[in-house]
């Protein structure tokens, strides 16, 4: 089988599901048992974090109702002290695929589904940490929405358009976004082993109480202010050119991220008379621009037999915030990250999917404020994935 045909088949599997026969159901379980050691300046024996956790416990059910109708649900059962809820259950996917009328090789997906931005939906966790856009909170890895997904003629690539809620899949009540997010994504595989693409989304307003709430009293210029909770990020725009090169045992995955928004916030200024008594208050409304960009590169070498993968990672992240008429670099929140690691596959499933593997990774994150110490993270993980096909019952 040619490499181009293999790429097309894997892309089809990723987008339209598992290619089950009508009436068939697939049950799948993914588990990640992880140890994390985080320290400052590689003081492994004096870690700030030393954690054992079940990072992921996906239970998936997929059912092919008819050739043109497919549904899937994923529940994540996890246990980690890095989350305030500790051990809990979270819905990660719940969607239906319907073949698009009059559009060959296109389908409509509705429900809680993957986010087709940047490398999120194609991130296979060869490196066990998150993709950069997901990690930096540009968008959630999954969201509620409706998308149109399909393939370009002659196996040239794939295309997605989507409308999402915009706040991700973890929030409810007052945190749910009331302004839809519009997304477009394109991947071109014109030559075997070379994939180029880009994605973009825009969201007019994100009512992000959970990100922007600054409670309590602040003092500025001798005045006392009480922060409001009606903050929002407006004019959100993100774009992500990407590429993947794969030749023989070598591959290189990379993306550039650009993200900008304006934060709207307000507060009450307390007014006093000449004796210092409070007489009234004045609502003050302000805006502040934010602009971020980053680069993420993941080179991988797969040794003969596909049992061992050796990977690296190099990331840059710059966060700029408005100060007067300038966009100043926030050096405390900007960083350079690099590291390496390996995966050992005890078992691979069909089509190269992970079965049972051991993963080890080391990363160092150096803030661009040279006065701050670097953070080192050592991560060891057993990852296991298996599935079972439930055939169509005989009538």
Burial pattern 62-85, b for ≥16 Cβ within 10 A else e, equals bbbbeeeebbbbbebebebeeeee
- What whole-number percentage of the chain has pLDDT above 70? 92
Phi-psi region of 270 (alpha: psi -120 to 50; beta: other; left: phi over 0): beta
Residue found under tokens 């509705």? 110
pLDDT band at 84 (very low <50, low <70, confident <90, very high): confident
d(CA 112, CA 94): 5
pTM of the model: 0.86
- Helix, strand, coil content of the chain in percent (nearest 5): 10, 60, 30
d(CA 48, CA 36): 10
In the prediction, which pLDDT does 235 show?
92
Helix (H, G, I), strand (E, B) or coil at 102: coil
For the range 124-128, what are the long-range contacts, defined as Cβ-Cβ under 8 Å and sequence gap of 24 or more?
Answer: 124/354, 125/383, 126/298, 126/300, 126/309, 126/311, 126/343, 127/298, 127/311, 127/313, 127/341, 127/361, 128/32, 128/34, 128/341, 128/359, 128/361, 128/379, 128/381, 128/383
Each residue's pLDDT tens digit, 362-380: 999 999 999 999 999 999 9
Mean pLDDT of 218-241: 81
Mean pLDDT of 142-169: 92
For residue 192, the Cα-to-chain-centroid distance in whole angstroms is 27
């Amino acid at each position: 089988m040619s490499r181009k045909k293999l790429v097309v088949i894997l892309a089809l599997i990723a987008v339209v599901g598992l290619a089950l026969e009508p009436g068939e159901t697939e049950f799948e379980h993914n588990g990640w048992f992880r140890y994390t050691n985080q320290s400052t300046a590689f003081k492994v024996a004096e870690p700030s974090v030393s954690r054992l956790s079940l990072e992921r416990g996906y239970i998936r059910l997929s059912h092919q109702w008819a050739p043109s109708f497919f549904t899937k649900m994923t529940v994540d059962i996890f246990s980690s002290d890095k989350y305030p809820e500790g051990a809990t259950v979270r819905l990660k996917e719940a969607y239906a695929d319907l073949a698009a009328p009059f559009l060959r090789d296109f389908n409509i997906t509705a429900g809680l589904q993957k986010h087709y931005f940047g490398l999120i939906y194609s991130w296979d966790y060869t490196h066990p940490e998150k993709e950069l856009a997901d990690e930096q909170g540009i968008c959630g890895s999954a969201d509620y929405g409706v998308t149109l997904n399909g393939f370009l003629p002659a196996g040239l690539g794939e295309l997605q358009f989507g409308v999402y809620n915009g706040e991700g899949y973890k929030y409810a009540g007052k945190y749910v976004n009331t302004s839809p997010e519009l997304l477009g994504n394109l991947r071109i595989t014109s030559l075997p082993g070379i994939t180029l693409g880009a994605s973009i989304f825009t969201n007019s307003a994100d009512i992000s109480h959970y990100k922007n709430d600054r409670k309590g009293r602040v003092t500025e210029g001798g005045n006392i202010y009480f922060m409001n909770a009606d903050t929002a990020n407006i004019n959100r725009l993100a774009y992500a050119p990407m590429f993947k090169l794969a030749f023989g045992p070598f591959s290189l995955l990379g993306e550039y991220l650009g993200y900008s928004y304006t934060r709207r916030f307000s507060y009450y200024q307390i007014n006093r008379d000449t004796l210092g008594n409070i007489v009234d208050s004045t609502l003050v409304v302000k805006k502040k621009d934010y602009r971020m960009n980053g680069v993420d590169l993941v080179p991988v070498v797969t040794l003969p037999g596909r049992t061992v993968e050796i990977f690296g990672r190099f990331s840059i992240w710059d966060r700029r915030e408005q100060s007067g008429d300038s966009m100043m670099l926030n050096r405390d929140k900007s960083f350079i990250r690099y590291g390496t690691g390996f995966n050992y596959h005890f078992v691979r499933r069909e089509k190269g999917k992970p079965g049972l593997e051991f993963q080890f990774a080391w990363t160092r994150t150096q803030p661009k404020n040279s006065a701050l110490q670097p953070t080192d993270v050592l991560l060891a993980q057993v990852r296991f994935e298996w599935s079972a096909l439930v055939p169509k019952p005989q009538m």
